[in-house]
Structure 1
Amino acid sequence: MNFTLHTRALALAACFAPALLFAQTPTNPAPNVTTLDTIVATPARMAQPLDKVMGDVTVIQAESLQNAGMQSMTAILARQPGLQIYNSGGPQTLSGIYLRGASPQQSLVLVNGMRINDNLSGATNWAAIDPSTIERIEIIRGSASSLYGSNAMGGVINIITKPGGQDRPFSAFGNVGVGSDSTFKTGFGFSGAQNNWNYSLAASYASSDGFNATNPDSGPYTYNQDDDGYTQTSLTGSLGYEWNPGQRVDLTFLHGYNHGDFDSGKDYQNTYGITRQQAYTLGSTNQITANWESILSFGYSKSDYDSQASYGRSEIGTIQRQYSWQNNFTLNQNNVLSLVLEHLDERASGSSLLTRQHRDTNAVGLIYRGDFDRHHLQASVRHDNISSIGDKTTGSLGYDYDLSPSLKLGVAASTGFRAPTFADLYTPLSWGYQGNPNLKPEKSKNIEASLRYQANDTQLSLVVFQNKFRDLINPYVCDAMFNCTAENTDKATIRGLSLEASHQFGNTLFSAGADFLNPKDDTNGKTLVRRAKQVYRLSVSHKLDNAELGASYQFVGKRFDDKDNTAAKKLGGYGLLNLHASYQFNKNLQGQIYWNNVTDKKYNTAYGYNSQGSNVFLNLAWRM
């Protein structure tokens, strides 16, 4: 508890450091600075330029995250191709992301390569992560279990807190903003790299009175008319040292905290949940020979949730320790082979004692990347041995062909799996329900094809895919005597098409996209829960002198909140119009205004839970 209080105090104190730095003379940017390629590591577990990456990949850069206003992580991700979200009444509540229609438990979330999916439920503590303290987010769509193991059936979301390692001068940023529902947010960060050292630190504090999270549809044991506010703090950072060329050590960390109100019936006014998310990595990168790079890393993540509700107090927590040794062998200029050895130690605890609280996974994987003139190949295979569950082998094969310097055709196939959670396996007998220790891992087979065009001012892409899921876990199967447990009874097929286009007309940027999804439950022919079949996106931004104006529109089709797609649980489609504007007062200081949900659209992403109406946020940001 003391550690949490100290971390929150440090985050809040760091947020007000800009007042001290304003007294310093700003550093002028260097003239004729060369624009560096965006380097990503997630798609092949090795550093490579974004324009050389194979597969369906998106990178959300630091500028977009720092300029997100009061938007939550899930709200930012919802604007990306192939991603849909749900939340239970605001940024402080339980949220989930559907990546290409795969459930939140079937998509792996990492922080600097360290997995943070809660191994009790498979969920992610999005409420504890503030986007303004993140350097970038790398998103892989399509099964990536052959790279990262369990949970990566729909793809991978890797949250990066560490800037690139290239030399750069000291830079800093800060912001303070106010908005609707008595929202207040402030943050500060700095980074740099020189004399073989690189470093970064970012902190934020936010509070809000919130809005009413529930409506009468949620039921009498949940619905309450009061507003549900929250307090959030976040602290991230990194430190690295290169003691010889090709020999370096790096440390990264993320610590997030959220105290959020939720509803637990009209007679209970002080119900809340406290969410904590920690993630740490320590790595050593060593160029053993000219053709052999060794990356030895240790990761630690801890997730905690403590709630006070009408049914009493509940505490759950999970710990994961990840040990990895990756060896990258450069066979020649165009061929790289990687050998990965990995060990994962998982532990779970909670108010209800599980019958088993620990398991280990040992894994070995091979990754190959080759470039042959216009032909590009990436292949991977991985074998996981999970204690008390057994062995699982997955693989992937991708091929890209350059039709021209600007036009690329790609095809890929991959398999994936998800190990059952501790709750699925080891919940003790209570009220007629008991976990099933004999559950098998869920499995998937994904195929896709893509066509991409990229020129100076224009980008176009088309991706089609099919992902078939088998041995899906139905968490509540009951016999004639109403004895219930989890079983591998379900299966599903998700087919989709994603279109993206953008073009720069002088000072005006237009972007448009559309996702078409057929998420079918093969056991009953119905649409999978909370997945929309159509999502449309449109945005425009225009620069004039020191100002920038922008607008975005997103339409999400109807969904159902139950497996049988009953009319009573239908969630209507909705369209959201957002506006934003900024003005550059000088080279360091910028004013920003965001008007979200301009038309005050009433909509639900989960049955019985409200979403925020029309809201405004004013922000003052500075850079140096």
Structure 2
Amino acid sequence: MHYRKLTAAILLTCSAGMFPVYAAEIKEAPAADTHVAASVTDKHVATSVADTHATAPAADTHVATPTPQNNVDAHSAVHQTNLWQTPAFTTIITAEEMEDNHYETVAEALMYAPGITVTPGSVNTAHQVVRIDGDDRVAVFIDGRRQNLESGFSDGRATYDLDMTPPVMAIDRIEILHGAVGDSFLSNDTPGGIINIITKKGKEHVFKFEAARGPYDAWRWETQLAGSGKGWSWTATGGRSNLEELHYKSSEGNKETMPNSAVNRREMYFRIDRQLKKNRSLTFTYGHFSNDRGLWYSRLNPTDYNYSKMANHFALTYNYKENTAAPGYISLYHYYNQGDTFRPFGTKHQKDLPSYGRWKTNTNGIDWRDGWSISKDHTISAGLSWRHTSVDNESNYNVAGDPAPGAAVPGFPGVDNPNRSFGKNYEKSMSNVNAFVKTVRRFNKLILTGTSGINHNSKFSNHYISSSGAEYRPDKKTTFYGSLQHIYAVPTLDELYYNNQRIQGNPNLEPEKGWKASGGIRHQFNDKIFADVGGFLSYTKNPILWHYNTATNRWRPDNYEGQHQQGLHLTVTDVFSPKYNATLSYTYTNSKTDWGDKDPSYTSLVARHQVQAALRYKDKHWSNNILLTSGFGRNSDWYSGNYFVVDLNLSYKFSKHWSSYLKVHNLFNNSYEILGSRTIGDCPAYGRTALFGVVYSY
């Protein structure tokens, strides 16, 4: 109860006076006192609102590593980072932090961000799901283009798989915003927040190659070639990685291996920019991502299926009015995503496997954004987004008429037939249109923002959407912020129409509706110590949740009565010296569901109390990091206990061109579950793994 009272007090204090108008003249807003969490320097990034769209993070952003203005391209379009005075808890993971820690994927980088949890899907462990504030309704963007799908998932409300992100070497920074976001990142259907992945624009000529090896047949390599000249710039990045079956320490203390859990990842990303005039440019991007995972459900039911994912993404963006108070852009994009389930039957090479089910998703979209400076204290922006998604099944394995389980499979002597299909078995499409207007107003020390719009869905008609926020700075060291968000989220195509022996869609689902309020206080105690404390409250009516129907032996989504979520966060950064710094964060999240007349099926998939800490040292040659993640207060009916994981990253630079590193995950080989289960210890997390790598750059 005391958590509720404290959360409510913070929200009431920080959200008072909010109404749907906002504020801040882009050129003359106060300079930001950016917080540096993984910094190797005690200097702060001073950023005006005029520069926010192109040169640095949002005002008072909690930054994981320093982001000096001269390190960010001045010609980057607004759609690549549009955090205009966002009144929200914000984290920036920079390229420097990702390089210092040698993160292999975006999923790994997000694991250490405050209030973020990354887990496999609770029904299909082949998916990598991210949660912000304990909520899997998160929007993921690459260079400002939304990546979420209408298909590809069979549990929860997540609509993006983190396996489909660009190579880490191609990323300039990752922006994480909790709660209400307007403008380009209108998040009425993703109240958890947004993640915007900003890719690198080519500048000086660069060649980089990284290779690493470790136990359990772990290996990876990644390479990048970038440059610019005569108005052109380019970046090409690609790589592969592999990790054999999941090794873990069981809840009984035994060292074991999860059958059929190996992971092999392939990735490439190309970006080409053409400067047309001083304030106009074209950007073309192409990304190809593929991933093979052994498909397992639990320790006691590993299954013998493989799951293969592939994506091809194209985008062409015309940027205009660059480097002005209100830039604009038009972006056209096409996404193709595919998923295949295979039956290995002991065959090592996937190309020899019979496909057991394939789904394909085609997504086409157009995004337009523009803005106008009304006065020095008033700006207006507007936008329109259209997206069409179609899903079909090229080949599905139809089990109708097959032999019963245990019977022989034709063409595969000695192999029993499990009589199970993973195909989606539907062909449907959906269109969605969003139109909005955002106003920004400043009244001395008070900045107000409001976004109003309309959402039209081809299956659920029209709905009005809105969000509002406020930011108050009584002095240069303190900022109060708060927001109120309207939630409106329609069911996905999978939730409506999925139909096979294990999963059954529900065409009678209704949209989720509700609200989320969040707020907090940022304070700079001195030149070296920074803190951010805040919280949120949310309510969702008709929440869509998956449950297992024992009568039909299938998973099915339904609308439940309601869901209440609340949480607190606290982050403190101390820069001891130019070489040492530390960050400590605590997150409390709690979710309660009114199940109505339906049987409860889920518990919270994140620990109620999470503590994350990082201690960093960096000098001319060394870059060393100790990272801690821990969770407490997990449901004892679903988990064996709490977890405490220590990761270690050591890096040494021999010369201008050569460096090496050693990274160890779960240093003490702690035993814990990554997902909860009625059978305690059934979904274990990775035990101790290690990689030793060498990097060459020129």
1:446 aligned residue (511, 516, 522): 516
Question: How far apart in 1 are the matches of 2:656 and 2:567?
Answer: 44
Scaled by the length of structure 2, the TM-score of the pair is 0.74
After TM superposition, the structure 1 = structure 2 runs for residues 123-134 of structure 1, keeping only pairs within 5 Å, are: 123-129=159-165, 130-134=167-171
Question: How far apart in 1 are the matches of 2:175 and 2:470?
Answer: 21
Equivalent in the alignment of 2:175: 138
Confirm or deny: 8 A CA contact 1:173 1:188 kept in the other structure: yes
Deviates more, 1:493-502 or 1:347-356: 347-356
After TM superposition, the structure 1 = structure 2 runs for residues 417-432 of structure 1, keeping only pairs within 5 Å, are: 417-428=488-499
Shift of 1:353: 5.9
Equivalent in the alignment of 2:240: 205
Equivalent in the alignment of 1:327: 370
Shift of 1:77: 1.0
Confirm or deny: 8 A CA contact 1:149 1:382 kept in the other structure: no
Equivalent in the alignment of 2:630: 555
Question: How far apart in 2 are the matches of 1:491 and 1:613?
Answer: 37
Shift of 1:438: 3.3
> Is 1:404 matched with 2:447?
no
Q: Deviations over 1:137-193 (max 9, x none)?
A: 111111447743564221111222243x8xx42233321111121211111113344
Confirm or deny: 8 A CA contact 1:161 1:254 kept in the other structure: no
Q: Deviations over 1:186-240 (max 9, x none)?
A: 11113344432222111111123232589899xxxxx985363232111012111
Equivalent in the alignment of 2:531: 460
Q: Deviations over 1:320-349 (max 9, x none)?
A: 111112121122344321111111101112
| Pairs aligned (count) | 573
After TM superposition, the structure 1 = structure 2 runs for residues 215-614 of structure 1, keeping only pairs within 5 Å, are: 226=259, 228-263=261-296, 271-287=305-321, 293-309=327-343, 313-350=356-393, 351=396, 352=423, 354=425, 357-428=428-499, 435-454=505-524, 456-476=527-547, 486-506=557-577, 507-523=579-595, 528-560=603-635, 567-606=636-675, 607=677, 608-614=682-688
List runs of 5+ in structure 1 lacking aligned partners. Answer: 1-32, 218-222, 561-566
Q: Deviations over 1:254-298 (max 9, x none)?
A: 211112223489999963211113322211112399887441111
Question: How far apart in 2 are the matches of 1:43 and 1:244?
Answer: 13
Q: Deviations over 1:602-624 (max 9, x none)?
A: 11112322221112211112333
Aligned AA (2:207): A
Confirm or deny: 8 A CA contact 2:75 2:323 kept in the other structure: no
Shift of 1:451: 0.8
Confirm or deny: 8 A CA contact 1:419 1:442 kept in the other structure: yes
Shift of 1:433: 7.6
Equivalent in the alignment of 1:16: none
Shift of 1:416: 2.2
Question: How far apart in 2 are the matches of 1:233 and 1:492?
Answer: 38
After TM superposition, the structure 1 = structure 2 runs for residues 97-246 of structure 1, keeping only pairs within 5 Å, are: 97-103=130-136, 106-120=137-151, 121=153, 122-129=158-165, 130-144=167-181, 147-148=185-186, 151-163=189-201, 168-212=203-247, 226=259, 228-246=261-279
Q: For the structure 1 residues 331 and 488, does the alpha-carbon distance in structure 2 shift closer, same or farther, using more than 3 Å as the test?
A: same
Question: How far apart in 2 are the matches of 1:269 and 1:478?
Answer: 20
Q: Report which of the two has the higher share of strand.
A: 1
Shift of 1:485: 5.9
Counting aligned pairs with the same residue, the percent is 15
Q: For the structure 1 residues 173 and 317, does the alpha-carbon distance in structure 2 shift closer, same or farther, using more than 3 Å as the test?
A: same
Question: How far apart in 1 are the matches of 2:209 and 2:278?
Answer: 33
Confirm or deny: 8 A CA contact 2:363 2:389 kept in the other structure: yes
Q: Deviations over 1:331-375 (max 9, x none)?
A: 234432111111110111233465551111122111222344422
Question: How far apart in 1 are the matches of 2:665 and 2:374?
Answer: 51
Helix, strand or coil: the match of 1:135? strand
Question: How far apart in 1 are the matches of 2:357 and 2:566?
Answer: 39
Question: How far apart in 1 are the matches of 2:126 and 2:169?
Answer: 19
Q: Which structure is richer in relative contact order (CA contacts within 8 A, separation 6 or more)?
A: 2
Q: For the structure 1 residues 145 and 334, does the alpha-carbon distance in structure 2 shift closer, same or farther, using more than 3 Å as the test?
A: closer
Question: How far apart in 2 are the matches of 1:271 and 1:478?
Answer: 23
Question: How far apart in 2 are the matches of 1:282 and 1:332?
Answer: 32
Shift of 1:540: 0.8
List runs of 5+ in structure 2 lacking aligned partners. Answer: 1-66, 346-354, 397-422
Scaled by the length of structure 1, the TM-score of the pair is 0.82
Deviates more, 1:599-608 or 1:187-196: 187-196
Question: How far apart in 1 are the matches of 2:603 and 2:461?
Answer: 29
Helix, strand or coil: the match of 1:609? coil
Deviates more, 1:127-136 or 1:447-456: 127-136
Deviates more, 1:187-196 or 1:173-182: 187-196
Deviates more, 1:180-189 or 1:345-354: 345-354
Confirm or deny: 8 A CA contact 1:133 1:204 kept in the other structure: no
Q: For the structure 1 residues 527 and 124, does the alpha-carbon distance in structure 2 shift closer, same or farther, using more than 3 Å as the test?
A: closer
Confirm or deny: 8 A CA contact 1:225 1:266 kept in the other structure: no
Question: How far apart in 2 are the matches of 1:85 and 1:598?
Answer: 19
Aligned AA (1:94): H
Shift of 1:580: 1.9
Question: How far apart in 2 are the matches of 1:189 and 1:289?
Answer: 28
Question: How far apart in 1 are the matches of 2:212 and 2:383?
Answer: 45
Q: For the structure 1 residues 602 and 369, does the alpha-carbon distance in structure 2 shift closer, same or farther, using more than 3 Å as the test?
A: same
